[in-house]
Structure 1
Amino acid sequence: MSISLQYCHVTVNDPDESLGFYRDALGLEVRNDVASDGFRWVTLGSAAQPGLEIVLSEPHAGRPQADGDALQELLTKGVLPMIVFSTDDLDTTFERVRASGAEVLQEPIEQPWGPRDCAFRDPSGNMVRISQAAKA
């Protein structure tokens, strides 16, 4: 038996604004863009992991009003779970994302548990970490 992650959702305030971060700064490609009931879901992926996708959606998309309101509150507070990407060139990736105007939370550093990583906030306030495996 094998199991793998197919996709995960990232809650954002504005899919268009978020594309500037996830597509343009991180280099993910848009795989699907679906409108439904006044909301949008934008699916992105990477050639490096063809089967894995990230779905950007607004807090109220496909949810009851009360649930969307609660999710919006958590998004506004910046307390939703972080997203962690990996790269084979942290310094180049960091500079590209910083040049996009993204809020830098942490410049690249060596972590005590092994990898070098950095951190940003996406336009909606989600924490995004990018790591590079420790060299053997």
Structure 2
Amino acid sequence: MITMVKRFVLPKISRLCQNKSFQAVYRSGKSYANKNLVVYVLPNKSANRRIGFAAGKRLGPAVVRNRVKRLLREAYRLNQDKFISGVDLILVGRQPLVKAKLVQVTKSLLELSAKAKLVVEKS
């Protein structure tokens, strides 16, 4: 018997897909960084939060870059309910993420999110 594994997939409305969308966030957005990653933030005109993930070629071959993006995606997935809406985000992995574990990535993401005021305040 074959069991189907349900994967988490960000809906298309929640993703930055086009190069021009990425470029707009890079050019006009504000950046926040720590040793593990960089977060670019640009307010958008909708109520949706859109996100993109990036890993530059300096990190290594495609296998390594894809792992970094998977780590970023998973850290975001686990904490997406803590982020505010109405922004475009890009998460860019840095060199230390190549050897990092998910716990470290999540901690870095939440630190930067707090610094960038992207975290929803608890009432």
Is the shorter-chain TM-score for this pair beyond 0.5, marking a shared fold?
no
**TM bucket, shorter chain:** under 0.3
| TM-score, structure 1 normalization | 0.25
Normalised TM-score (structure 2): 0.26
Largest Rg, 1 or 2: 1
